[in-house]
Amino acid sequence: MISVGDKLPSIALQEGSPANKLDSAALFAGKRGILFAVPGAFTPGCDRSHLPGYVADAAKLHAKGVEIIACVSVNDAFVMGAWGAAHHADGKVRMLADPNAAFTKAVGLDVQADALGGTRSKRYAMLLDDGVVTALHVEPDGFGLTCSLSNAVLAAL
């Protein structure tokens, strides 16, 4: 599992459509950022608490020096785009798709979630400085809603 001091791996993620590929390492290069992951778009905890909190707290996080906030999930780019639109995330949270769980597996935060269709991401939030992990908040059971929520990350900044 990725840990504090590690550099974010260079893996292609998608934003908006499968054709729009972004390199995970390049996205955070030279920036202070937050990357949070959810088990699935539109799932109850993710949809009611996790994403909405980061959207609501975006200005507060930016005021603390965070330049980029991104959400990643093992979903396709169209689902992530629709989910972001439903929560008015545009300009606040980048919605990144990891359709084959390549990024999620590379950081060692994958989990088998048969109820959600197979391999998914554990719920976490990581703070990054120039692509290096400076803090990592992984939910103890992989799915809970405590240490990875925006208010917990905001308090830790």
46 included as an active-site residue: yes
Please give the helix or strand (H or E) that residue 21 lies within, else none. Answer: strand 17-23
Query: What is the C-alpha separation between 56 and 5, in angstroms, rounded?
Result: 29
Which residue is it, tokens 């088998």? Answer: 112
Pick the catalytic residue from 11, 37, 46, 69: 46
The phi-psi region of residue 145 (left if phi > 0; otherwise alpha if psi is between -120 and 50; otherwise beta) is: beta
Query: What is the C-alpha separation between 13 and 97, in angstroms, rounded?
Result: 6
CA 112 to chain centre: 18
Q: How close are the terminal C-alpha atoms of the chain, in Å?
A: 23
Q: Which residues are catalytic?
A: 46
